[in-house]
Amino acid sequence: MASLRPRTAVAPEFGALLSEVHRVGREVIAPAADAVDDAARFPHESIAALRELQLLSAYVPEAYGGLGLSIADISKVCEALGHYCASTAMIFAMHQIQVACIVHHARGSRFFEHYLRELVDQQLLIASATTELGVGGDLRSSICAIEVDGDRFRLVKKAPVISYGEQADAILVTSRRTPDAASSDQVHVLVRRGETQLEALSAWDTLGFRGTCSSGYTLSSEGAAEQIIPTPFDAILSQTMHPVSHIVWSSLWLGIAADAVGRARAFVRGEARKNPQLPPMSSLRLGEVDIVLNGMRNNVQSAVAEYARLLEADDADAFKSFGFATRINNLKLSSSQLVVDIVGKAMLICGLHGYRNDSKFTLGRHLRDAYGAALMVNNDRILAHNATMLLALKEA
Amino acid sequence: MYAERVREIVSQHGRLSVPVAELADDSDLYQAGLTSLATVGLMLALEDGFDIEFPDNMLSRRTFGSIASLAAAVEQLAAKPVLV
Ligand SMILES: Cc1cc2nc3c(=O)[nH]c(=O)nc-3n(C[C@H](O)[C@H](O)[C@H](O)COP(=O)(O)OP(=O)(O)OC[C@H]3O[C@@H](n4cnc5c(N)ncnc54)[C@H](O)[C@@H]3O)c2cc1C
């Protein structure tokens, strides 16, 4: 049996793949982005284009037919997509988180090894249902409980936010292990379309990330007990879901920020052409925002490097250390604020041209999307976790 | 010899979902509802109660897994002078 260990080094052919992502971004994803945003509709054409590049199995090891990309590669793809359509980038990023949970934690499961091959062949899309009515964004606590009877399970969950729940082929859901388990004794189960009913709870008409179609549902599903990932959820969270989420999210927010700065740069260039003798005032602001963008990029890269090292070392305790967890939280806290700051600074540079909806320098969608970053797992909740963990940390 | 005091502190600060009296010394505290974040409050209370300090490398599931493992850790730390 092939190992489910993912590769952590950069693939040599990756540069060519990344150029393809940018091509698809320019030709397919960007042209649809405004319509997706206006109508708060799923970006069908963009996800179809990603499927064509086999990118839905980007993180599946080559032994299973996937592209076997590293976490560093996935981060770069998320950033690239963030330039063209934040909703598409978010859907791609969230799917990769779910794939990583399976790749890292379903070693030795016949069901999941087969499922990974199916995912590669059919380019299946996986959504996530962690948030629950009554617990909000507290990932380490569930109200709903899975009921296992022999080799079958039954699960009902009131999930107020499931991005692309209706378009997904499967959803990874957290729940308590048994009806009498503690709220923190959780499992992660893959429920599949065809075996799952989604009854509408709430719609998704938001300021930004409108194309993620993150409506709320009462989810009911039945299936085979082997669809439960054979690793306790707290280990899945600390080793994979927590670090991968904050890395891929921060990467796509970086893409939003970099595109905003790109627009500001194009604007300043236009101004400079009008009067080549005297650099426009706004060029100073451009220099200033570039520093902030650089800092944001460095934060992402250092978190990616640390996580890649831990994956390589494969030491379960290292992932659980408060030091690593706080650094990953710091990445999320800082990137989610920097993306708003950077888009705002780019807006100041472009002036009314950035504020208008009908200008090629428009930054309205960027700004609306940027404000979502602090809310997806509320920054105050994360900061409170860090405040607690920092009390325990003694070494630097 | 530390297990009784440890038990008391776990019951006050562990935020478990079952009464500590129902747990054996070697019962799994995580299965009883202990979370990684709740170990911080527990650690601070143990440090205060026994005048000890947990080094970072002991903040692990192995240490906090049961009343017995906590009592062993406390015993080990109490035997050493505290270095600040
Ligand atoms: C674009 C987008 C897509 C999403 N997609 C999904 C998805 O696919 N699947 C999914 O499951 N979820 C998804 N979510 C939900 C997300 O993961 C969070 O669960 C959700 O945003 C939290 O909502 P909330 O702020 O209302 O709730 P809470 O997290 O409960 O926060 C509400 C308020 O309470 C405060 N608060 C609560 N508890 C604490 C605490 N312990 N410490 C400090 N402050 C606290 C917070 O500061 C906040 O002000 C998505 C969110 C967004 C924005």
What number is the average pLDDT over the span A356-365?
Answer: 97
A317, A321, A385 ranked by CB distance to B37: nearest: A385
Interface of B with A (CB under 8 A): 16-18, 30-37, 39-41, 43-44, 53-56, 59-61
Pocket (CB within 6 angstroms of ligand 1): A 94, 127-131, 136-137, 161-163, 209, 212, 214, 372, 375-378, 380-381, 384
Q: What is the pLDDT of residues A215-234, one digit of tens each?
A: 999 999 999 999 999 999 99
CA–CA separation, A6 and A100 (whole Å): 9
Q: What is the pLDDT of residues B30-45, one digit of tens each?
A: 989 999 889 999 999 9
| Chain A environment of B61 (Cβ under 8 Å) | 317, 320
**How many CA atoms lie less than 13 Å away from B57 in the CB half-sphere?**
1
Q: What is the pLDDT of residues A30-78, one digit of tens each?
A: 999 999 999 999 999 999 999 999 999 999 999 999 999 999 999 999 9
Which pLDDT value is given to residue A275? 85
Verify whether the Cβ–Cβ distance B59 to A182 is below 8 Å: no
What number is the average pLDDT over the span B40-60?
Answer: 92
Tell which one of A131, A141, A186, A215 to mutate to probe ligand 1, the residue whose CB is within 8 A of the most ligand atoms: A131
Which pLDDT value is given to residue A2? 42
Verify whether the Cβ–Cβ distance B33 to A388 is below 8 Å: no
Which pLDDT value is given to residue A194? 96
Pairs of CB atoms within 8 A across A/B: 56
Percent of chain B surpassing pLDDT 90: 75
Which pLDDT value is given to residue A1? 36
Which pLDDT value is given to residue A278? 85
- Report helix, strand or coil for A24: helix
Q: What share of chain A is helix, strand, coil (3-state, %, to 5)?
A: 55, 10, 30
Mean pLDDT score across all residues of chain A:
95
Query: What ipTM was estimated for this complex?
Result: 0.77
A184, A317, A385 ranked by CB distance to B60: nearest: A317
A140, A394, A395 ranked by CB distance to B35: nearest: A140
Q: What is the pLDDT of residues A137-191, one digit of tens each?
A: 899 999 999 999 999 999 999 999 999 999 999 999 999 999 999 999 999 999 9
Among residues B81, B80, B79, B75, which one has the least CA distance to residue B6?
B75
CA–CA separation, A390 and A168 (whole Å): 38
Which pLDDT value is given to residue B82? 52
Torsion of CA A276, A277, A278, A284, to 10 degrees: 60
Percent of chain A surpassing pLDDT 90: 90
Verify whether the Cβ–Cβ distance B17 to A183 is below 8 Å: yes
- Report helix, strand or coil for A320: helix
What separation in Å is there between the alpha carbon of A214 and the centre of ligand 1?
13
Q: How confident is the model at residue A5 (pLDDT cuts 50, 70, 90)?
A: low
Verify whether the Cβ–Cβ distance A388 to B32 is below 8 Å: no
Which pLDDT value is given to residue A9? 53
Among residues A318, A123, A168, which one has the least CA distance to residue A238?
A318
Instruction: Judge whether A180 is closer than 8 Å to chain B, CB to CB.
Output: no
Count CB neighbours of A312 within 10 A.
12
What number is the average pLDDT over the span A352-376?
Answer: 97
| Chain A environment of B23 (Cβ under 8 Å) | none
CA–CA separation, A174 and A190 (whole Å): 9
For residue B80, pLDDT beyond 80:
no
For residue A249, pLDDT beyond 90:
yes
Among protein residues, the one with the nearest Cα to ligand 1's atom 48 is: A378
Q: What is the pLDDT of residues A78-121, one digit of tens each?
A: 999 999 999 999 999 999 999 999 999 998 999 999 999 999 99
What number is the average pLDDT over the span A334-352?
Answer: 98
For chain A, how far is it from start to end, CA to CA, in angstroms? 42
Mean pLDDT score across all residues of chain B:
90
Q: Say what the pTM is.
A: 0.92
CA–CA separation, A103 and A3 (whole Å): 10
Instruction: Judge whether A182 is closer than 8 Å to chain B, CB to CB.
Output: yes
Q: Tell me if A161 sits within 8 A of A174, measured CB to CB.
A: no
Among protein residues, the one with the nearest Cα to ligand 1's atom 22 is: A137
Which pLDDT value is given to residue A6? 58
A182, A323, A394 ranked by CB distance to B55: nearest: A394
Verify whether the Cβ–Cβ distance B17 to A385 is below 8 Å: no
Q: What is the pLDDT of residues A230-245, one digit of tens each?
A: 999 999 999 999 999 9
Which pLDDT value is given to residue A314? 87
Among residues A81, A87, A84, A91, which one has the least CA distance to residue A30?
A84
Q: Which domains does chain B have, with CATH numbers?
A: 3-79 (1.10.1200.10)
Give the pair of three-digit tokens for residue A8. 């952590």
Among protein residues, the one with the nearest Cα to ligand 1's atom 37 is: A381
Least confident of A129-133, A340-344, B55-59: B55-59
Q: Tell me if A248 sits within 8 A of A96, measured CB to CB.
A: yes
Which pLDDT value is given to residue A394? 83
Verify whether the Cβ–Cβ distance A184 to B33 is below 8 Å: yes
Minimum distance, in Å, between the CA of residue B56 and any CA atom of chain A: 6
What separation in Å is there between the alpha carbon of A131 and the centre of ligand 1?
7
For residue A296, pLDDT beyond 50:
yes
Which pLDDT value is given to residue A395? 74
**How many CA atoms lie less than 13 Å away from A310 in the CB half-sphere?**
23
| Chain B environment of A391 (Cβ under 8 Å) | 40, 44
Tell which one of A368, A378, A379 to mutate to probe ligand 1, the residue whose CB is within 8 A of the most ligand atoms: A378
| Amino acid in position B83 | L
Minimum distance, in Å, between the CA of residue A99 and any CA atom of chain B: 25
DSSP type of residue A172: E
